[in-house]
Copies of this chain bind each other. A is one copy, B any other.
Amino acid sequence: MAELSDANAQLYESLLDGDHTALARVITKIENRAPGYRDLLAALHAETGTASVVGVTGSPGTGKSTLVDALTKQYREAGETVGVIAVDPSSPYTGGSVLGDRIRMGSTAGDMDVFVRSMSARGRLGGVSMATADAVKALDAFGKDRIIVETVGAGQNEVDIVETAETVAVVVQPGSGDDVQLLKAGILEIGDLFVVNKADKDEAAGTVADLETMIHMDAAPAAGLSAGHHGPNATDSEPAAVDDGGWTPPVIETVATSGEGVDEFRTALDDHRQYLVDSGTGEGRRRRQAETEIRRLLRADVGGLAEEVLDGHGGIEAVASRVARRETDPYTVVGELVDPLESAVEESLATRPEASEK
């Protein structure tokens, strides 16, 4: 871990002391990739791992934000602190820039122990994924008990949320054809639980039935056919979503505007968290998330090195002009550019302490 600059060391201390302003400034640094943000994150990493991180995704209009507000309110009433990261691709701000703390109309606005931050997903999706994962770390190190990452379902976003959250909740609305879209988009696989919001609508029962059919087709054929329907009127007391064959995603009915079913939603989230601990699958999930994070960082850094190499050779335009004039060809050029790097890799691997000990 690198030494922190004086300014970063102070921010770090203030954040750990529970200073919301410091938290906001750290997240701003993360979003802007400000100098030293990596050292800051490296330092914060050791302080993470206590928060529960939930991802909530769904199409626009499903009432996700209202549901997240209602869930937040319940957590607050139970005395827990909450951080919300809302990844909003429809934001007019480009490049993952900071929108400032989002003003929500929800019941928790003004509560200082709820920290809400929006990030734009426009432009560089990979960048937002990284920034989101890093912002979650800041909230975790800060000491938030519950972190909710809310994304609008739009292709890549839902997949990315899996890389950050322990538990992914997919929100659909009744009769919207969302269920069919889920199948197409491969979202079914990422949902640890499904929420049919606006469940007071007539079509709700049909959507719940459709979802359960899809979930059971998706699960191992022999397992869990009786599992998983928690609604506002659910009366079964067994932890229906957990069975011997693993986890079968429950389908929960909520009416976020009235708060109906939010209790069951919260319980199902806790059930899943407990399942991750009891089954040991949480550890594997965290390792896979770390793998994704490392690979993504490595690619970004090494890609940056490739650009440096190009720049050092007169820039891509100069090199491409030589190829277009057929003085050389792409394979020869790239071979020349990569050769010194390749030698360096071989050398650095041959001389690492672990290698020489053998």
A316, CB-defined interface residue at 8 Å? yes
Specify which chain B residues have a CB less than 8 angstroms from the CB of A323 in the assembled complex: 45, 290, 293-294
CB proximity to B under 8 Å, residues A1-55:
1-2, 38-39, 41-42, 45-46, 48-49
Contact between A298 and B310, CB atoms less than 8 A apart: yes
A340-B345, A343-B344 as given contacts; A334 in contact with B298, CB under 8 Å? yes
A–B Cβ pairs within 8 angstroms, 17 of them: A1-B329, A2-B332, A42-B331, A290-B323, A291-B316, A294-B320, A294-B334, A295-B310, A298-B337, A301-B334, A301-B338, A302-B302, A302-B303, A312-B355, A340-B347, A341-B348, A344-B347
Q: Which of B49, B314, B340 makes the CB contact (< 8 A) with A348?
A: B340
Contact between A349 and B309, CB atoms less than 8 A apart: yes
A352, CB-defined interface residue at 8 Å? yes
Bound-state Cα–Cα, A323 to B297, Å: 13
Interface size class of chain A, counting residues whose CB lies under 8 Å from the partner chain: 35 or more
A305-B338, A340-B345 as given contacts; A294 in contact with B326, CB under 8 Å? no
Residues of A within 8 A of B (CB): 1-2, 38-39, 41-42, 45-46, 48-49, 283, 286-291, 293-295, 297-299, 301-303, 305-306, 308-310, 312-314, 316-317, 319-321, 323-324, 326, 328-335, 337-338, 340-345, 347-349, 352, 354-355
Q: Which of B2, B313, B326, B342 makes the CB contact (< 8 A) with A48?
A: B326
Contact between B299 and A330, CB atoms less than 8 A apart: no
Q: How many subunits of this chain does the assembly comprise?
A: 2
Contact between B316 and A295, CB atoms less than 8 A apart: yes
- Chain B nearest Cβ from A302, distance in angstroms: 4
A290-B323, A352-B312 as given contacts; A341 in contact with B305, CB under 8 Å? yes
Contact between A294 and B319, CB atoms less than 8 A apart: yes
Contact between B321 and A287, CB atoms less than 8 A apart: yes
Contact between A341 and B302, CB atoms less than 8 A apart: yes
- Chain B nearest Cβ from A352, distance in angstroms: 7
Bound-state Cα–Cα, A342 to B290, Å: 23
Contact between B294 and A298, CB atoms less than 8 A apart: no
